[in-house]
Structure 1
Amino acid sequence: MGMLASLISGLASGETIAAVQRARVAAIVYSVAALAALCGLGFLVGAAYIWTAARYGPMAASLSFGIGFLAIAGLILLVYRMSAGSRARRGAKRRNADMKAIGITAALAVLPALLKGKGGPGKAGLSAILGPAIALAAYAIYRENVKRGSDDPDTGKRE
């Protein structure tokens, strides 16, 4: 609730508009700097080509630059493909954490209604909370005691 009040007061005070304007200006400055860096890189590649062409000839320079850029492109694609598995695992962890947060939020939202029950905190409201809470605690204990891929010091085997 405090975060919502902070957001509403920020909108009312115009602080959010100022933050958006600062972000827009920063994006423009970084874009212009990136464009200047790309131009500088292009001139450096051109200078390297001219030097290589003067030293080894235009045909050798063209071939070496073409092969070099193709090798760089292949290396980038290879690294991207090799890191796809770790990106997928990070995404799965992030989705799992998001689902846990949504579940906790939903449980906390329903908690007052379950505690209230009909005519006050009765047996129906309390048992509706205790049953899933005990099951969740048992599952957490089970998950803690059964870890995948850990080394068992007694048997020396991986589970």
Structure 2
Amino acid sequence: MLASLLASLASGETVVAIRRARRAAIFYLLAGLAAVCGVGFLVAALYIWLSDLYGRLETALSFGFGFLVIALVVVMVHRLTAGSRAKRAAERRKSDLTAVGVAAALAVLPGLLRSRAGVGALLAPALAVVAYAIYRENTKPRPGPDEPSE
């Protein structure tokens, strides 16, 4: 838990979360303002309808429903773009954590190279990766159902 918190602070995740929250607040504020205007025009339309019964009613109703549609569009745009913003933030977080991991590995490397046990600890996984790569290169893939066998 603490390591995750420190990693998120080191990678700038806190700043990203604050920006995301601020952006969401602005979008919801705009949607709320449009909704308030819509309700205001609907109340004005009701007033006009009750006082006049004809004339300006259609215009007031049009404005009221128009602002409500604008509010829905603003909320939908925010919801649709939130997924791509979250994906970009996850990619950024992944690259930041990779950079932190590489930096930590490079910091530990000189200490490991000073001792025999450290060199063995480095060589064993490297040899395993090389052996696996050789194995993968030398094994033939099995023919699929569409391909004829030799």
Fold shared by both chains (TM-score > 0.5): no
**TM class by smaller structure:** 0.3 to 0.5
State TM-score, norm by structure 2: 0.43
Of structures 1 and 2, the one scoring higher in RCO (CA 8 A, sep 6+) is: 2
